[in-house]
With several copies, the nearest count.
Chain A
Amino acid sequence: MLKKKPFPIVRTLSAWGVALLLFFPLFWLGITAFKTEAQAIAAQLFFTPTLASFVEVQERSNYLLFARNSLITSLGSTIIGLLIAIPAAYSMAFFPTKKTRDILMWMLSTKMMPAVGALVPVYVMAQTAGMLDSLPALVIVFTLSNLPIMVWMLYSAFKEVPKDILEAVRLDGATVWEEFRWVILPLTMGGIASTGLLCLVLSWNEAFWALNLTSANAGTLASLIASYSSPEGLFWAKLSAASLMAIAPIIVFGWFSQKQLVQGLTFGAVK
């Protein structure tokens, strides 16, 4: 890289252009949440913001309960998922056998059955276990349905680790745990973070099971949205406010973890 390259003006402009374009719908959602219903429909850009919609949403439903449920289920399933998926991916990436690829495919194939197709069986299972409308049920379902994806992503992240670094660490006398903790984890932080985030986002946004397996106690924000999606009349501002409240935590979290996410392997010491 030459330092005194001309200022990357074209790249800067196009990157910003595309980013703003892609972000625009969200921006629009954001500002609509602060409009009155009339302004919302008139597609105005300038208006005096109001918090009325947020107040209304909070009045109607216990936002905090849903948010808490979302937090518990998505964090829970992410953590449990990582705990199960990391060892599996580690084992497949670093001790591959002839069957590894088949196992990977099989794992993915467990996700091929459309959720709707499995609704009744799962519903009956949950009911038999007495776990309808309970957070553990959601955590289990989220974890299991994200597990294949997590194993896949982690597998691909682990595969990027150069072989001889692993060899070096084994020679240094590291146990499996130490090897993971001190070398693989820091080297694949980006991949693990993206996987965790993906799982978090998927759980947070999961609507089908969240809706169908819960009623009054265990609903998540995604199921909260279902009660706003089509009330009588198009209350766009209210809908936007509810949506914003539902996605804001995860977006903010995503923004903060951005650095970890895009961090790839840092090479340079491998000849």
Chain B
Amino acid sequence: MSFLQLRGVEKIFGDHKVIKGVNLDIEKNEFIVFVGPSGCGKSTLLRMIAGLESIDGGSLHVDGRDITHLPSSQRELAMVFQSYALYPHMTVYDNMSFALKLAKVPADEIRRKVEDAADKLNLTPYLKRTPKELSGGQRQRVAIGRAIVRAPKIFLFDEPLSNLDAALRGQTRVEISKLHRALGVTTIYVTHDQVEAMTLADRVVVLRDGMVEQVGAPLELYDKPANQFVAQFIGMPSMNIVKAAQLSQFGALAGQAANRVPADGLIGVRPEGVRVLPVGSAGVPGKVELIEALGADTLIHVDVMGTPMISRQAERTHLHIGDPVSLEFDLNTLHGFDKAGRMVSLA
């Protein structure tokens, strides 16, 4: 039996259901990442697991024990709140040591743990400050620090790195990953950052509008999205989608997919599967709409007779907006969907 079991979990705010029957099994020591559009219910679900929101339907078991109605103080969790929820009148040190102090951990051990965490989070110079004297990112790090000094049964992280710069985010991500491996604590992690989701997760849970769309290993979701929503949600920029009805304009693409995808279905192709060639080359003709040079990559937005396509390439481009181009597609990584958005095998 799995460690954490959610069975038909529901949450109702006022008169709308925000979590609509979530079933989920999480194994001991697993690292689970929740992703989903803003407002889909990630925080709510996390807070329900934490016992901060009542569970209006269904049940929640940890280790076989029904904890649906257990108060959060008895659940042995550590959580990083999306809004931080720091104690405003305590210093950074006190914020981080609070839980340990309550647990009657010896003073020198507390000091060691807190200083250790502060060091990892680059917070050492700020230990004596109160939250209001910190920058946004520093506050967020205190929130993380407050959670990681503890050794709970379950770690809950709600967008913990959103306010950190790329370098620090990478560094902290590595620390969280290390911590997870070292302590082997079951961890649930909410993020909007695809890199975090892909690199940290054992399994990713894609939520949409209070329901689970797909659960799977990161690359599984990327390569075999269960439906159009997941396909478009995972991967940045989003997967290009072409209506089967318009496929006739897409040359080779049409040939590959035509017989498998229903006439009212869709074909998806990832931006890295789209190559922009000089005009006149064999391929589908289009016009450059926008060019975004990201440094390492370049995103080229091309309009193919009304259908927008994005190509991502590693090289810089000399094209300009309005230039006519030809598009070539990588036919091995196409995705097919039926009218309802469900995946259709193209193999």
Whether A and B touch directly in their complex, counting CB atoms under 8 A apart, is answered as yes
**Residue A183 at the B interface, CB < 8 A?**
yes
Name the A residues within 8 Å of B74 (CB-CB): 173
**Residue A182 at the B interface, CB < 8 A?**
yes
B54 pairs with A165, CB closer than 8 A: no
Interface of A is mostly: loop
Within 8 A of B (CB), among A154-184: 162-165, 167-175, 178-179, 182-183
Name the B residues within 8 Å of A172 (CB-CB): 73, 98-99, 102, 146, 150
7 more contacts with CB within 8 A, not counting A174-B102, A271-B139, are: A5-B69, A171-B78, A172-B146, A179-B73, A266-B88, A269-B87, A270-B86
Quick one: which of B54, B73, B103 has the most chain A CB within 10 A? B73
- A5-B72 Cα distance, complex, nearest whole Å: 12
Choose from B47, B73, B131, B139 the contact partner of A173 (Cβ within 8 Å): B73
Name the A residues within 8 Å of B71 (CB-CB): 2, 170
Name the A residues within 8 Å of B178 (CB-CB): none
**Residue B89 at the A interface, CB < 8 A?**
yes
Name the B residues within 8 Å of A268 (CB-CB): 88, 130-132
A271 pairs with B89, CB closer than 8 A: no
Total chain A interface residues with beta-carbon distance under 8 A: 31
User: Nearest 7 A-B pairs (CB), nearest first?
Assistant: A268-B132, A269-B131, A3-B54, A269-B86, A172-B99, A164-B85, A168-B85
- A152-B262 Cα distance, complex, nearest whole Å: 67
**Residue B84 at the A interface, CB < 8 A?**
yes
- A170-B79 Cα distance, complex, nearest whole Å: 11
- A258-B51 Cα distance, complex, nearest whole Å: 32
B99 pairs with A186, CB closer than 8 A: no
B79 pairs with A171, CB closer than 8 A: yes
Q: How far is the CB of A42 from chain B (nearest CB, A)?
A: 52
B56 pairs with A165, CB closer than 8 A: no
Q: A3-B54, A187-B89, A268-B88 are in contact. Are A167 and B81 (CB under 8 A)?
A: yes
Q: How far is the CB of A8 from chain B (nearest CB, A)?
A: 13
- A182-B73 Cα distance, complex, nearest whole Å: 15
A171 pairs with B88, CB closer than 8 A: no
**Residue A1 at the B interface, CB < 8 A?**
yes
Within 8 A of B (CB), among A210-243: none
- A269-B84 Cα distance, complex, nearest whole Å: 7
